Chains A and B, each alone.
Chain A
Amino acid sequence: GAVVSQHPSWVICKSGTSVKIECRSLDFQATTMFWYRQFPKQSLMLMATSNEGSKATYEQGVEKDKFLINHASLTLSTLTVTSAHPEDSSFYICSARGLRGQVSYEQYFGPGTRLTVT
C-alpha cells in the first residue's frame, strides 16, 4: 500500500509555543491531505482538508488561525499548532489521498503525532 510518514512522532512543548507537524506521502502524489485529531478511545475527528496549492478547508469549530495548514507540494502538508495550550494535547493524524491507477478514493494514514503541551 501507499506510505505516509509523519514527523515528529511525539512532541512535548510548553504552553504558548508553536509546534509544526509534517505529513509526507512517500511513494505517491497526494492531491488531497486530511488532518485529524483523536482523543483517547474515540474516533477520528476531521479538522481540515487541504488540496495542494490552495487554502485548507476547515471543519466547523476548528480555528484556522490556531491550526495553520500548508499544503505546499503534492507530497508535503504541514500542520502548525500556534500558541499551544494544554487542551491542544492530543493525537494528530494526517492522511493522504492520491491517484493509484484509476482509483482516487483510497485514503492512507500517517502513524500519528502525539502532542503534549505542558
Chain B
Amino acid sequence: GQQLNQSPQSMFIQEGEDVSMNCTSSSIFNTWLWYKQDPGEGPVLLIALYKAGELTSNGRLTAQFGITRKDSFLNISASIPSDVGIYFCAGYNFNKFYFGSGTKLNVKP
C-alpha cells in the first residue's frame, strides 16, 4: 500500500513557539489533508489541499501541498496549550485515504 512518512513523531515545545511537521510519500497524491485528534475522539479536519504548490491557512495553521505532490507540511504559529494533540496527515487517491503515523504535540504553558 501507499505509505506516508510523518515527522517528527513527537514534539515538546514552549507556549508561543512555532511548530512545523511534515509528511512525505513515495507516491503522488491528488489531495493532502491535515487532521488533529484529541484523546478518545475522532480526528477533526484542519486543512485540505487540492493543488500542487497550494498554500492554505486556517487561523494560526498553514499547510502546503508540495510541488512534487509527494509531500506536505503543516505549520502552527504561536502555539497555545489547546494545540496539544496528535496531528495526522492524510493523502487521497482512488477513493482511499492514507494516513501518516501522527505527530504528538505537547505544549508547555
Residues of A that sit less than 8 Å from B by CB: 1, 4, 6, 32, 34, 42-44, 46, 49, 91, 93, 95, 103, 105-112, 114
**Would B99 and A112 count as touching, CB distance under 8 A?**
no
Task: Say yes or no: B88 contacts A110, CB within 8 Å.
Answer: no
Asked, given contacts A32-B95, A49-B95, A49-B96, whether A44 binds B43 with beta carbons under 8 Å apart, the answer is yes
Closest chain B residue to A36, Cβ basis: B99
Q: What residues on A are CB-neighbors of B92 within 8 Å? A: 105, 107
Contacts of B59 in A (CB 8 A): none
Residue interface mask B13-51, A partner, CB < 8 A = 1: 000000000000000001101010000111111001010
In contact, B35 and A109 (Cβ under 8 angstroms): yes
Interface of A is mostly: strand
B66 within 8 A of A: no
Binding site of B, secondary structure by majority: helix, strand, loop or mixed? strand
Residues of A within 8 A of B90 (CB): 107
In the assembled complex, the CB of A110 is this many whole angstroms from the nearest CB of chain B, namely: 5
Find out whether the CB atom of B31 lies under 8 angstroms from the CB atom of A43. Answer: no
5 closest A-B pairs by beta carbon, nearest first, are A109-B42, A105-B31, A112-B42, A111-B42, A109-B43
**Extra contacts besides A105-B31, A107-B92 (8): CB < 8 Å:** A6-B42, A34-B97, A44-B43, A103-B48, A108-B45, A109-B35, A109-B45, A112-B42
| Chain A residues closer than 8 Å to B48, beta-carbon distance | 103, 105-106
Interface centre among B42, B99, B102 (most CB of A within 10 A): B42
Chain B residues with Cβ below 8 Å from A34 are 97
A111 in contact with B97 given A43-B88, A105-B31 (CB within 8 Å) = no
Contact partners of B45 in chain A: CB under 8 A: 1, 106-109
